[in-house]
Structure 1
Amino acid sequence: MDENRKLEKAVIMISGILFLSSLTQKSYCTTSQCGDSVMVFLLGWFAMLTGGAGISWIANPLLFASWAMLKRNNKISVFLSLLATLFAISFLLFDSILANEAGDYQQVISYKSGYWLWVCSCMSMLVGVSILFIKNKDARVS
């Protein structure tokens, strides 16, 4: 296995392990409860449709697409992982979150390890695929 394939495997493994680890933790706390990351992941698409902080859920399909594109096109994978990272971080811009199906919002009072592991998953993918892109670009120039 050549060096690039090993690095691709490592990048996906690190990002994937961070992502799966994030699902086992609490993601954020509101004034009434802390959200389980796995539930936020499974039901986040609904909050995404309502706008606001839910829009950050778009980071998930962007991250998955970045994983899928890694072996095919590093340039697209860099772009997708950058967008995933930006959408994940965008959650910090909102001070309240949709709390239930009735449309009630609650203030976010803290961010837990599940959120930070999710962001790290996106960021590790961005850094890893950027390194691969630069290495491959340099190899083509030489």
Structure 2
Amino acid sequence: MPFSDDEQILVEEKSKLKTLVLIGGTGLFVLSLFNVCFCTDNGCRTSIEALLIGWLAMSTGGAAIAWLANPLLIVSWVLLTKNKKSAWLFSLTALLFCISFLKFQTIIENEAGHYNPIKRIGLGYWLWLSSCLTTFVGCLTLRILKIKNS
């Protein structure tokens, strides 16, 4: 049975929204990589540094656990492109891990296990958080629209 005009418009609108969510989420993420993520007594770290070496510190726990938001966010983008229902759950989990960074006052900065106080949270972190939030809100909106029109 072919789509009615209203159904076709809804499909097109959801497709546009999905594209906006993907472009907005990935764009904010990429933009975050070129900005300062956090600063300690030893200087500031860019988000790209945190992305590339953050996984090494995850076994120590603490603020480094927020790094898990990165693979979860990427999985949510992949699932969103495939119209999978679970995209919003992965994006929510990514958002929660991202927010968890704010809970910590110190971060491990070297392989010797030295922790330093987080003195400032930079624009890179806020852009990363915005990427997670944009992806979550977009995925949730698309999920709600799908349920509502079923």
2:123 maps to 113
Cα pair 1:74 1:129 within 8 Å, conserved: no
**1:29 aligned residue:** 39
1:2 is displaced (CA, Å) by 1.5
Number of aligned positions between the proteins:
140
Q: 1:41-70: per-residue Cα shift (whole Å, max 9, x none)?
A: 001100112211110000000000000101
Q: Which amino acid aligns with 1:21?
A: L
The sequence identity of aligned pairs, in percent, is: 43
Q: Tell me the TM-score normalised to structure 2 length.
A: 0.90
Q: Verify: 1:9 aligned to 2:19, yes or no.
A: yes
Q: Once the 2 structures are TM-superposed, how far is the Cα of residue 3 of structure 1 from its aligned partner?
A: 1.5
Does 2:92 match 1:87?
Answer: no
Structure-2 residue corresponding to 1:71: 81
Aligned to 2:141: 131
Q: Residue 74 of structure 1: CA displacement?
A: 4.4
Q: Secondary structure at the match of 1:2?
A: helix
Partners of 2:54 and 2:95 in 1: CA distance: 16
Q: Which runs of 4+ in 1 moved over 4 A?
A: none
Structure 1 stretches of 5 or more lacking a match? Answer: none
Give the TM-score normalised by structure 1: 0.95
Give me the whole-angstrom Cα distance separating, in 2, the residues matched to 1:118 and 1:15.
Answer: 9
5+ long unaligned stretches in structure 2 = 1-10
- CA-based RMSD of the aligned residues comes to 1.1
